[in-house]
Each structure stands twice: as C-alpha cells, then as structure tokens.
Amino acid sequence: MTEKFIMAGDTALHVCDSEAGERCIVLLHGYLESMLVWDDFTYLLRPHARVVTLDLPGHGISEVKGEVHTMEFLADTVAAGLRTLGIERCTVVGHSMGGYVALALCERHADLLDGVVLLSSTPNADTEEKAAARRREIELVRAGKKELLCRTAPAAGFAERNRTRCREAIDDLAEQVVVTEDEGIVALLGGMIARPDRNAMLRATKVPVLFILGREDGYIPAEAAERMVADHPEAEVVWLENAGHMGFIEEPETTARAILAFVGKE
C-alpha cells in the first residue's frame, strides 16, 4: 500500500492505495475511526482487487474544513480524490458513517460506482433521539471531555461475546479517538445530524447495493435491520451471525468473501 497526501478539490486527503488490480474497492471508515481501522482487513482484499483507504476529512490526518462536514461535502471530496488517483469506477464500502458518505456518493456521483456496500450502516436519517445524543456528544467534546468517548465508544461497537477476543482492536480504536481533532469530531457529528433520509434514492438508483449487517449490532438492532432489509428488496443482504457493529473485525473472512463476491458480479 502506498501512503500519501493528495489534493481532492481544495482539500488535502490522506490516502493509501494498493495501486494494482482490474477492479477497485474503496473503503470508507466510520465515526471516530480512520483508515487505520482497515489495516488488517485489506490483506483479504488486495490479492483480488485494487484497494484504496482514506481518512475522511475531520478524522485521521486529513484536513478539517469548517464547522460542519456534511455527507455531501465528504462525498464530493471522495469523488475528487478518486479522480485525482485516476480511478474511473469502483465499488465503495462504507462502514457506519462511511455508509452515509457512500450513499451521498451514490446520489451525486453514481457514474463512479460499480456498487455500494453498506457495512453496518443505514439510509435512514437520524431520529430525534439520535440527533439529541449526537448534540450531547458535541457538548462533551467542546467541554474538553473527549476521553469519555474513549472509554465507551470503541467497545460498544463489538458484540459482547467478542470483546475479550477483540481487546487489541478496541484499544486501537480508543487510541484513534484520542488523536482525532476535537474540531473534526464536532464537524462530523454536525454532518450526520444534518443528513437526509436516502431510502427513496437507494430504491431508485441503478447502482447495485449490498447490505452487510451484524446480528448483534447494538447500534442497528436486528429488528430494525430486518425492517430496513424488507424495505429494500432491490439490495443483496449478507448477515454476520456472530458480529456486532464492527463485522469486518469480528468476522473478517466472511465480510471479505461477501464484498469480493459482490465485486465479482457483472
């Protein structure tokens, strides 16, 4: 993987690119993560496709650009970055918040996409309850109490049965929270609150769609996920029976097989 900074429009974007492969898979990380979260997972994909990871602006070491990073801004930045890398078509895999970016990319830059994979993600807008929780997180960060997120958020993404086994990954995620700029966290929380419902867009798009969902996801409970799947008969679905929200870490081989099978379809 070649690691470098590129200009995506007027935004400096930190990327890693394997640079080889007929097909291309772009991995978009979630909230309080960075492209480092994919490091172990990319080994399962790279023998079969070109793999690109990046730090979404506001996380990792990509730029923070303003007080709110809308999903549309992030999607336009990713699209500009792909064009800078000379990538004409790709399958985009969005984990959690990265899925919100992937959906905006599908809406605004469908010409770039061979497919969209929503990995523990949803086309729904925030509920009032969820938006209120995000506003409380904004206040927490602005009050200088980001360390509270380190204590709770990383472990909460994993199925309870997997937390001991995945302790090293949980510790790594906590470290990623520590090094994330406060302004970036606030900007992305604001962008997630502001995002629209994209269910109608998803039903109307001609871009193939795959849901990968964890049966023990605490953020998207199985009942809610089942309703979402029922609302989107056009989408393919793969269930990770022993995973929470972090299926690509909890069940990496199954997740990789699902993505590669989806990418391999004409």
Q: How far apart are CA 140 and CA 130, in angstroms?
A: 15
CATH number at residue 164: 3.40.50.1820
Structural domain including 243 reads 2-263
How many angstroms from the chain centroid is the CA of residue 30?
4
pLDDT class of 151 with cuts at 50, 70, 90: confident
Q: How many independent structural domains does the chain possess? A: 1
Q: What angle do CA 205, 211, 217 make, to 5 degrees?
A: 140
Q: How are beta strands 2-8 and 236-240 bridged, if at all?
A: unpaired
**82-135 confidence digits (pLDDT tens):** 999 999 999 999 999 999 999 999 999 999 999 999 999 999 999 999 999 999
Q: What angle do CA 208, 210, 212 make, to 5 degrees?
A: 170
Q: How far apart are CA 172 and CA 154, in angstroms?
A: 9
Least confident range of 11-20, 42-51, 55-64, 145-154: 145-154
